[in-house]
């Protein structure tokens, strides 16, 4: 997705046909990870797939445990609705991938644990998705001097849509600051979204 974002000439792109919920032994945190990665990599959206919703109980490629009506309430379906609820209240179309770790300088991980950050051009708002690595808290270091003003910091729980204000917020816009995720988000996983707001106009 980052390669698509950097392609010239610039064209809109979406993440299409990744792992579906209910197929390939997918897990809810995997479904969340690929969706948030898309939104923070410059994509203008991503397609969420669910088995059996995609074939409405017709012949599918994998065994099904739910009817398509029941699957509307499955974890992935609900989590994607919460992703939408978050991004429709953010200037998502102005967020650009920050993939050189100039803002998130430590703790960003690798492979499927990679934390991705997107930042507005005026550097007044950043959004970071920190994928699941278990149930413990996970620590990341942010270069706070990138912001011109003190930063209001919140954790967003991608499994229930609730915000948790970071202790000590607003944070000074100098040096670096270590943020530690709250740990288990209530589902036995520890993925969270860190939102840093330095006065982005509403």
pLDDT tens for residues 161-174?
A: 999 999 999 999 99
Other C-beta atoms lying within 10 Å of the C-beta of residue 137: 13
The pTM of the full predicted model, rounded to 2 decimals, is 0.95
Q: How far apart are CA 3 and CA 16, in angstroms?
A: 15
Q: How far apart are CA 113 and CA 129, in angstroms?
A: 10
The ranges of the chain with pLDDT < 70 are 202
**Structure confidence at residue 110 (pLDDT):** 96
**Structure confidence at residue 65 (pLDDT):** 85
120 burial (CB, 10 Å; 0-12 / 13-18 / 19+) is: middle
**Fold of the 94-197 domain:** Immunoglobulin-like (2.60.40)
**Structure confidence at residue 202 (pLDDT):** 64
Residues of the chain with CATH 2.60.40: 94-197
Q: How far apart are CA 95 and CA 118, in angstroms?
A: 5
């Amino acid at each position: 997705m980052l390669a698509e974002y950097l392609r010239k000439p610039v064209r809109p792109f979406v993440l299409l046909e990744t792992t579906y919920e209910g197929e390939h032994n997918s897990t809810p945190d995997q479904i969340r990870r690929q969706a948030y990665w898309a939104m923070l990599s410059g994509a203008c959206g991503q397609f969420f797939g669910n088995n059996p919703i995609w074939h409405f109980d017709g012949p599918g490629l994998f065994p099904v445990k739910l009817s398509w009506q029941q699957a509307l309430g499955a974890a992935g379906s609900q989590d994607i609705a919460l992703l939408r609820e978050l991004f429709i209240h953010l200037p998502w179309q102005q967020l650009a991938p920050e993939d050189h770790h100039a803002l998130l300088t430590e703790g960003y991980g690798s492979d499927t644990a990679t934390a991705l950050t997107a930042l507005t051009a005026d550097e007044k708002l950043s959004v970071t998705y920190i994928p699941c690595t278990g149930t413990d808290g996970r620590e990341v270091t942010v270069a706070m001097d990138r912001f011109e003003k003190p930063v209001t910091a919140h954790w967003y729980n991608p499994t229930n849509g609730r915000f948790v204000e970071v202790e000590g917020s607003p944070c000074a816009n100098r040096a670096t600051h270590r943020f530690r995720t709250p740990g288990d988000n209530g589902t036995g996983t520890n993925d969270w979204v860190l939102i840093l707001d330095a006065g982005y106009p509403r």
